């Protein structure tokens, strides 16, 4: 109704979108936020809110479009990079998610990004690449039995048996 009565009143549209979100009418709120974004495309906070709303709704393709725009900047906020990587993963686009996991690992030293990169590289048969990220995780958590076990497995797969043995011995020592 607001769109029909006051289509140019951006404050009214914003208020209506907020009210719809509060009422858990997220689909209608998203439609209203899309209209607002068309009228004010430079408002990054609005784009971020819309992306988050789509993410909460499970509309990962729509969230990805907005998050990708937000993450394009060289100095993108780590929270945006994280959500962008997650939405690519949830959309089944793991290879595209890697770009954002890499940026996040470089800019914020994110443990989640390093874990995801480790898993990605292991899955792709790139154990040496995985070692880089796993090693930095282990530096932050030297008594993590989970990380030690994984590191031992990687060393073993690379036929680096002395390092594998050292990791497994430490793993057994730390395991209750």
Per residue in 28-70, pLDDT tens? 999 989 988 988 888 888 999 999 999 999 999 999 999 999 9
Here the tokens at position 80 are 């945006």
More confident residue, 128 or 4: 128
What's the pLDDT tens digit per position in 109-137?
Answer: 788 888 889 989 998 899 999 998 898 88
pLDDT of 43: 86
- d(CA 56, CA 43) in angstroms, rounded, equals 20
What number of other Cβ atoms are within 10 A of residue 54's Cβ? Answer: 24
Closest CA to 146 of 170, 114, 117: 170
pLDDT of 17: 87
Average pLDDT over residues 18-29: 91
Residue 174, pLDDT > 90, answer no
Q: Are 113 and 85 in contact (CB under 8 A)?
A: yes
Here the tokens at position 92 are 């089944």
Residue 79, pLDDT > 70, answer yes
pLDDT band (50, 70, 90) for residue 6: low
Model-level pTM? 0.76
Q: Which DSSP string do the residues of 110-131 spell out, in sequence order?
A: -HHHHHHHHHHHHHTT-HHHHH
């Amino acid at each position: 109704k607001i769109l029909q009565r006051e289509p140019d009143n951006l404050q009214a549209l914003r208020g209506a979108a907020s009210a719809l979100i509060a009422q858990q009418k997220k689909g209608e709120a998203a439609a209203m936020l899309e209209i607002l974004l068309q009228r004010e495309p430079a408002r990054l906070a609005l784009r971020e809110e819309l992306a988050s709303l789509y993410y909460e709704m499970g509309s990962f393709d729509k969230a990805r479009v907005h998050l990708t725009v937000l993450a394009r900047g060289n100095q993108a906020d780590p929270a945006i990079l994280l959500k962008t990587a997650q939405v690519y993963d949830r959309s089944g686009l793991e290879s595209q998610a890697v770009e954002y996991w890499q940026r996040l690992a470089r800019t914020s030293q994110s443990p989640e990004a390093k874990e995801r990169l480790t898993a990605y590289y292991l899955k792709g048969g790139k154990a040496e690449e995985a070692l880089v990220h796993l090693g930095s995780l282990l530096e932050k958590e030297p008594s993590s039995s989970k990380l030690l076990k994984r590191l031992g497995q990687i060393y073993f797969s690379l036929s680096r048996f002395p390092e594998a043995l050292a990791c497994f011995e430490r793993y057994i020592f730390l395991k209750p």
